[in-house]
């Protein structure tokens, strides 16, 4: 879709770029940010349990 050629490709190209960008962003959030936030919350909870 983002690399399409032919008639009407110009109209679909912007949608393809947005779609690919969204997929990459959501994948990075799922694989990197969510586990990191979970780890931070777990460490904070451990500090409260020790106190």
pLDDT of residue 6: 74
User: Are the C-beta atoms of residues 20 and 2 closer than 8 Å to each other?
Assistant: yes
Listed by start position, the domains of the chain span 1-51
How many angstroms from the chain centroid is the CA of residue 14? 19
What's the predicted TM-score (pTM) here? 0.61
Q: Give the C-alpha separation, 39 to 18, whole Å.
A: 30
pLDDT of residue 51: 66
User: Are the C-beta atoms of residues 31 and 38 closer than 8 Å to each other?
Assistant: no
pLDDT of residue 9: 78
The tens-digit pLDDT sequence of the chain (51 residues) is 666 677 777 888 888 899 999 999 999 999 999 999 999 999 999 999 976
**Phi/psi at 2 (nearest 5 deg)?**
-75, -25
Q: Which token pair is 19?
A: 């779609």
């Amino acid at each position: 879709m983002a690399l399409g050629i032919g008639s009407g490709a110009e109209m679909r190209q912007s949608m393809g770029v947005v779609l690919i960008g969204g997929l990459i962003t959501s994948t990075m959030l799922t694989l990197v940010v969510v586990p990191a936030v979970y780890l931070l919350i777990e460490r904070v909870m451990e500090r409260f349990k020790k106190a």
